[in-house]
């Protein structure tokens, strides 16, 4: 099994780039089908979702737009359980279809806060597209409409996911070696 070191931690390959690409294609196919004839706004959460959002956008064949928000809730390998808004929603979303694009949902605290803020702006509808979901860590009740992969509650890096800012550039996803 291929291993990498990110800062002082060791990770082993968990999800290959080919598996990632297939999952992104499944999500894009569903969005293309469900939003045919519409012009949804993809609202990607920085920093982690930028690679997923980029790949997803290239596979979406219907008209769409993209914008970004930035929230922070992690320190090292653990959630702080507090969400800080660093860049908020700047677009007018009233009456629009919005698809929130996230790299990973674990506790769900960040997504829950963002969804509440978006719904206050009266969009036509709001959907969630998430690349990785950790049901064992999930503490909220919102639904994930478009899901790439369900994974165990392991800390992962690669494909936009990081450990203290490092490892986002790995084309595969790696899980921490315990």
> How many CB atoms within 10 Å of residue 51?
21
- Does residue 106 have an active-site annotation? yes
- Among candidate residues 55, 103, 106, 162, the one labeled active-site is 106
With CA atoms as reference, report the closest residue to 113 among 82, 136, 80, 137: 82
pLDDT band at 83 (very low <50, low <70, confident <90, very high): confident
Phi/psi of residue 81, nearest 5 degrees: 70, 5
Whether pLDDT at 34 is above 70: yes
Let me know how long the chain is.
178
Percent of the chain past pLDDT 70, that is, above it, reads: 94
What is the residue-averaged pLDDT of the chain?
93
| CATH 3.40.1520.20 is held by the domain 18-151 | no
């Amino acid at each position: 099994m291929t291993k990498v070191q990110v800062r002082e931690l060791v990770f082993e390959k968990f999800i290959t780039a080919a598996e990632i690409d297939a999952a992104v294609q499944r999500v894009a196919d569903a969005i293309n089908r469900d939003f045919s004839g519409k012009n949804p706004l993809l609202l990607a959460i920085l920093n982690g979702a930028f690679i997923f959002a980029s790949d997803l956008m290239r596979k979406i064949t219907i008209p769409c737009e993209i914008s970004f928000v930035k929230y922070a809730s992690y320190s090292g390998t653990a959630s702080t359980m507090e969400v800080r808004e660093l860049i908020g929603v700047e677009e007018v979303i009233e009456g629009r279809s919005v698809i929130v694009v996230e790299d990973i949902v674990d506790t769900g605290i960040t997504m829950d806060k963002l969804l509440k803020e978006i719904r206050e702006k009266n969009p036509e509808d709001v959907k969630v597209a998430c690349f990785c979901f950790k049901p064992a860590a999930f503490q909220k009740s919102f639904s994930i409409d478009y899901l790439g992969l369900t994974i165990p509650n392991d800390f992962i890096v690669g494909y936009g996911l990081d450990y203290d800012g490092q490892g986002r550039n790995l084309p595969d996803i790696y899980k921490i070696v315990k």
